[in-house]
Chains A and B, each alone.
Chain A
Amino acid sequence: AQSVAQPEDQVNVAEGNPLTVKCTYSVSGNPYLFWYVQYPNRGLQFLLKYITGDNLVKGSYGFEAEFNKSQTSFHLKKPSALVSDSALYFCAVRGLTGANNLFFGTGTRLTVIP
């Protein structure tokens, strides 16, 4: 069965410092992985995805993620955090082969401290 785990409920980082939000996955078949961000009282916004190819994926708002097959991880990163990056971040994996749904993690709340 497809699943993702986000081991940290909360991540705090100082403004200007690099940030990492962790995600590990468990899948049958090729992993198709996504990161979404949710601001208060809003829907989810797409940040980036890994389908195939380069293990370092670049996305919106300066975010990037590194796909690591041996560690089954897909951590979200940003070199320099902004206060406006404070939000809820979700990692997701596509359902079984041929499916068109996503399985989401429980989310990580990122707080960037000025």
Chain B
Amino acid sequence: DAGVTQSPTHLIKTRGQQVTLRCSPKSGHDTVSWYQQALGQGPQFIFQYYEEEERQRGNFPDRFSGHQFPNYSSELNVNALLLGDSALYLCASSPRTVLYGYTFGSGTRLTVV
């Protein structure tokens, strides 16, 4: 049973560019959440998708957007990249409620230069 799969694993982008990160949730999970983990920090909640809609959003600017597809996979898009967007981006899936516990992917390491 595959866990959460994220792609790519590493990415280098130039300031001002746009980036798309992808996530396939664990089998049986219909809810996908995205977190940003800056170096030396705990993960911070970006947003969560359920039934192809953004259900909840953290304190991130509109440059961060997402999408969920009918097969529950998800994308995270970041526009107008800033140096401060450099971080590990983690995708977590769960069966609808976080109280069942997240399953995290290994993350995408984004470096903005």
Q: How many residues of B contact A (CB 8 A)?
A: 27
Q: A51-B99, A106-B42 are known contacts. Are A100 and B106 too (CB-CB below 8 A)?
A: no
Which residues on the B side are within 8 Å of A94 (C-beta)?
Answer: 98-99
Instruction: With CB as the reference atom, state the residue of chain B lying closest to A92.
Output: B42
Binds B, one of A36-44, A63-71, A77-85: A36-44
**A-B pairs under 8 A by CB, number:** 64
B56 touches A106 (CB 8 A): no
From A46, A103, A105, give the contact of B102 (CB < 8 A): A46
Known A43-B107, A101-B33, A104-B42; 19 more pairs at CB < 8 Å: A32-B99, A36-B104, A43-B90, A43-B104, A43-B105, A44-B43, A46-B103, A51-B99, A90-B43, A95-B56, A99-B98, A100-B31, A100-B55, A100-B96, A101-B45, A101-B98, A102-B45, A102-B98, A103-B45
